[in-house]
Amino acid sequence: MDSAVSDPHNGSAEAGGPTNGTTRPPSTPEGIALAYGSLLLMALLPIFFGALRSVRCARGKNASDMPETITSRDAARFPIIASCTLLGLYLFFKIFSQEYINLLLSMYFFVLGILALSHTISPLMNKFFPANFPNRQYQLLFTQGSGENKEEIINYEFDTKDLVCLGLSSIVGVWYLLRKHWIANNLFGLAFSLNGVELLHLNNVSTGCILLGGLFIYDIFWVFGTNVMVTVAKSFEAPIKLVFPQDLLEKGLEADNFAMLGLGDIVIPGIFIALLLRFDISLKKNTHTYFYTSFAAYIFGLGLTIFIMHIFKHAQPALLYLVPACIGFPVLVALAKGEVTEMFSYEESNPKDPASVTETREGTEATTSKGLEKKEK
């Protein structure tokens, strides 16, 4: 049975069989349905909850939880940077030993995975701590220079509860590092995805269209035009994809014939869907029309990707189907409601940029590009 494989940057889904040269017995229809259904559900969870958390993140004042804002310039450059990185990894795998490269990558993602999982479970774990829990505050501060030239490099605030979450996440990290078990992989993958949707913010809808449009072309080229993405995806051993065994019913937790979905196919549409949720809130109509529309569009696009991949048994760039759905459906709704101008004039500023000028109201308030230009002048 074919499985969906992901690339490390954008995570496009593709059909691919076993890579070790052995022939596996075909998966049962029940196993296939369970695998693809589970992947779809796992993809929806970080988008839904990450979008909700992105609203609180935009309102928050904690410097350690401030979002990174993606501008139109960043969005335009991203496909080029992703292409260079993908090609660089391809050459690395061709020139150097795959074993040593994956060892370095495993250590790198081991650290990142622990931090991401700790940040993900922290709000949930806080509900289980007793009221009299001795919670102390800490601050990790690295500066450069002295006096008036002192510059903050790292300024991270945390407490005892965060250290407990870090300890629990470290157990999962050791499990992943030693066993590379698919459940540990998915825990890290879900954490990466949720953190990405929560902390990466598009500054407006136009930027989202630029980003998704650029990666739409990127995905099609590297999947259909070359074997670079396929090679890297199959060689890259890191939690940059969600996996689910198609032979789980036959082999249990030791199953090894996986269907896969790259994290890029979750995070990239996810940050656009999260932006539309914040736009919904800015309208102050007590409805989440654009969020639910884009969320339904994502389900449709990913379902179509899985269906076509299963039918044609060939590599499928998931963004080929996700991008038109996630952009097209909300725009059609905006046309029907006469809110296209409001949608494309909605603007978010970078909270980390001291020079940025914003107008904040309850929730996430829209400011027009024209107004920002006047204030900057």
Q: Is residue 139 part of a domain?
A: no
Question: Does the pTM exceed 0.85?
Answer: no
Q: Is residue 20 part of a domain?
A: no
Counted domains in the chain: 1
φ/ψ region of 25 (left if φ > 0, alpha if ψ in -120 to 50, else beta) reads beta
In the predicted model, is pLDDT for residue 361 greater than 90? no
pLDDT (tens digit per residue) in 180-233: 899 999 999 999 999 999 999 999 999 999 999 999 999 999 988 888 887 887
- Copy the structure tokens of residue 157: 């605030």
* Cβ–Cβ < 8 Å for 27, 257: yes
Q: Tokens 């005892």, residue? A: 160
Residues assigned a catalytic role = 219, 265
Q: Is residue 208 part of a domain?
A: yes
* Cβ–Cβ < 8 Å for 122, 162: yes
Measured N-to-C along each axis, helices 29-59 and 264-283 cross at an angle, to the nearest 10 degrees, of 50
In the predicted model, is pLDDT for residue 11 greater than 70? no
* Cβ–Cβ < 8 Å for 71, 207: yes
- Copy the structure tokens of residue 276: 């539309």
Give the separation between CA 55 and CA 244, rounded to whole angstroms. Answer: 30
Q: Is residue 366 part of a domain?
A: no
Q: Is residue 149 part of a domain?
A: no
Give the separation between CA 281 and CA 362, rounded to whole angstroms. Answer: 9
Q: Is residue 145 part of a domain?
A: no
Range of the domain at 188: 29-131+169-349
User: By mean pLDDT, which of 128-137, 195-204, 275-284 is the weakest?
Assistant: 128-137
Q: Is residue 163 part of a domain?
A: no
Q: Is residue 333 part of a domain?
A: yes
